[in-house]
A and B are shown apart, each in its own frame.
Chain A
Amino acid sequence: MPAIVTENLVKRFGELTAVDGLNIEVRPGELFAFLGPNGAGKTTTIHMLCTLLRPTAGTARVADHDCVKEAWVVRRAIGLVFQESTLDKDLTVYENLWFTSCLYNLSPRLATERIDEILQLLELSDRKNHMTRQLSGGMRRRLDIARGLLHRPRILFLDEPTIGLDPQARRQIWQFLDTLRRTEETTLFVTTHYMEEAEVCDRVGIIDRGSLVALGTPDELKQVFKGDVVQLRSDRMEELAQAIRAQFHLSPQLTDRGLLLEVMDGEAFLPQLIRRCGDQITGINIQRPSLNEVFLQLTGREFKP
């Protein structure tokens, strides 16, 4: 039984269609990334799956229950870490967790046990009695995640869990999510607009303008590219593009990041390129295709967070 299934899920806000006929299926225990630029419909989708928004059309089932008709049951099975912190800054770390445990009607004994456990897991034990406002951004984020996990949900939704954090704090959060997946068997549904974060997930759904444009493992997605991506800089981009078209029968794409070429064997290609068009090139970069290129290929646009 899938953890999450949506069928032709649609959400309109007046004129605006935020989610436009979404079909996804997330397997139990999976780390699923929902990738897309801002305004693509990621948060709206999460809010529908978490019973906070009512779909305009279509259905969504989470933990095998309908998100509209059985919202109550769904809520017990899920945890949600919102994009913006939902911590109470007038309460301490411990009190924030205690308050959440009460909302989920955990018994005091169980609550104490779980809170201690989760504080340890997230390395927040020594901050237990600190006021939340005194925590750093990364710690607050961890506390937000701790809250989402307190009632041991089967599915945890995380909406941009690393937004606004420094690289070290971001790494820490991802390490933690990885541990969680291995030890608790929690299904994780994560939205992000950091490509490199999506790379470590089991499967990635790319959403653009409210619909799914691709779905698969990061490797599968990258298979639309057969070779390497060569990125070129030049003072005369158009001329260079023309020269390459004529000499190599390739079709370079002109983007914000320069001229992009897809070639089978980048390392062998470079010497030839330099021999023939070297005087027109001011910079070269060669890379394995990333999800960035996948996005470009699929939508014809640069990925802009």
Chain B
Amino acid sequence: MIPLRPIRSIVTRELKRFFRQRGRLLSSLARPLLWLFIVGIGINRIVETPPGISYLQFLFPGVVGMVVLFSSIHSALSTVYDREFGVMRLILVAPISRLTIVGGKVASGSFLSLLQAAILLCLAPLIGIPLGVQQILLLTVYILLTAVAITGVGLLLASRIDSLENFAGVMNFVVFPMFFLSGGLYPVKLLPAGLQWVIYANPLAYGIDLFKHALLPGSPGMALGPDFALTSNIGMLLLFSTITITAATALFDKEARLVRLATR
């Protein structure tokens, strides 16, 4: 049983911090816009897409995925920040379980991802993707599913990182490759077989594929449509979430964290 108040307070704290760090919202909105309107429009000029879908439209689900990716990883890595600035010690000495802590982080990471993705989704009609109520509801579920899995991955990473200096490394060696190998920039089925296998191991690929199901409905089976079946996407995301969250909870080792402090 997980007590609600501690979890809710962890979520509230994350939200407050998110809105108080002004640059964070701004940069998290600027990044997808750069991709969409600079990279997207540029590539749109040079590639030839099948009739009925532009490259910009194809890119849109990928950029939504990117927002979820950055936001979820960022939220998860805030545990590293908490550790460095001591707040984690306060949380660890309180009578709450590790699952509560991980649960709070997952919930806040997912909620913040949803929020940022929702802002981006407002642009969908602008590039010729109309959104109905049903689509919005489906997307909400899909975004949450993806965000939970990615936050899980982030928490797993965070449990192995001992300082904020390694933050940049994670961005370069985990986050960017995850985005480039997700099917967000190019269809998975057009890639060489070797690379396709890497994509199968990337939870973001299933998330973006879900977004394609919802955002590019007319195009299943087409070259630029979704690559996987709806159910296998959902199944894989649930599987990733379960594995990463279980592992992150188990690895949430208090001891290793404090050694540095204690022996100094």
- Report how far A16 CA is from B262 CA in the complex, Å: 12
The segment from B46-54, B93-101, B120-128, B231-239 that touches chain A is B93-101
- Report how far A104 CA is from B93 CA in the complex, Å: 10
Question: Is B93's CB under 8 angstroms from A50's CB?
Answer: yes
Question: Is B90's CB under 8 angstroms from A147's CB?
Answer: yes
Question: Is A103's CB under 8 angstroms from B94's CB?
Answer: yes
Is A95 an interface residue, CB under 8 A from the partner? yes
Pick from B6, B21, B258: contact of A102, CB below 8 A. B6
A206-235 to B contact mask, C-beta < 8 Å, 1/0: 000000000000000000000000000000
Is B194 an interface residue, CB under 8 A from the partner? no
Question: Is A52's CB under 8 angstroms from B87's CB?
Answer: no
Is A192 an interface residue, CB under 8 A from the partner? no
User: Chain B: how many interface residues by the 8 Å CB criterion?
Assistant: 30
The segment from B12-20, B166-174, B203-211 that touches chain A is B12-20
**Given known A-B contacts A102-B8, A104-B95, A52 and B258 have beta carbons under 8 A apart:** yes
Q: Residues of B contacting A78 with CB < 8 Å? A: 93
**SS of B interface (majority):** helix
Q: Residues of B contacting A44 with CB < 8 Å? A: 262-263
Question: Is B262's CB under 8 angstroms from A47's CB?
Answer: yes
Identify which of residues 63-120 in chain B touch chain A, using a CB-to-CB cut-off of 8 Å.
Answer: 85-87, 89-96
Question: Is A88's CB under 8 angstroms from B87's CB?
Answer: yes
Question: Is B90's CB under 8 angstroms from A103's CB?
Answer: yes
Is B23 an interface residue, CB under 8 A from the partner? no
- Tally of contacts, chain A with chain B, CB under 8 A: 87
Pick from B89, B254, B259, B263: contact of A86, CB below 8 A. B89
- Report how far A102 CA is from B14 CA in the complex, Å: 14
Identify which of residues 46-80 in chain A touch chain B, using a CB-to-CB cut-off of 8 Å.
Answer: 47, 50-54, 72, 75-76, 78, 80
Is B255 an interface residue, CB under 8 A from the partner? yes
Is A82 an interface residue, CB under 8 A from the partner? yes
Identify which of residues 19-67 in chain B touch chain A, using a CB-to-CB cut-off of 8 Å.
Answer: 20-21
CB distance from A287 to the nearest CB of B (A): 32
CB distance from A210 to the nearest CB of B (A): 11
Question: Is B17's CB under 8 angstroms from A90's CB?
Answer: yes
* Nearest residue, chain A, Cβ from B96: A103
Q: Residues of A contacting B91 with CB < 8 Å? A: 103
Question: Is B85's CB under 8 angstroms from A91's CB?
Answer: no
Is A100 an interface residue, CB under 8 A from the partner? yes
Q: Residues of A contacting B13 with CB < 8 Å? A: 88, 91, 95, 99
Is A282 an interface residue, CB under 8 A from the partner? no
- Report how far A53 CA is from B90 CA in the complex, Å: 14
**Given known A-B contacts A86-B86, A90-B21, A105-B3, A18 and B93 have beta carbons under 8 A apart:** no
Question: Is A85's CB under 8 angstroms from B93's CB?
Answer: no
* Nearest residue, chain B, Cβ from A84: B86
Question: Is A102's CB under 8 angstroms from B9's CB?
Answer: yes
Q: Residues of B contacting A104 with CB < 8 Å? A: 94-95
Q: Residues of A contacting B92 with CB < 8 Å? A: 52
Is A89 an interface residue, CB under 8 A from the partner? yes
Question: Is A90's CB under 8 angstroms from B263's CB?
Answer: no
- Report how far A147 CA is from B93 CA in the complex, Å: 12
List 12 A-B residue pairs with CB atoms under 8 Å apart, sorted by A's residue number: A13-B262, A52-B93, A52-B254, A75-B94, A75-B95, A82-B86, A86-B87, A90-B20, A95-B16, A102-B9, A103-B9, A147-B90
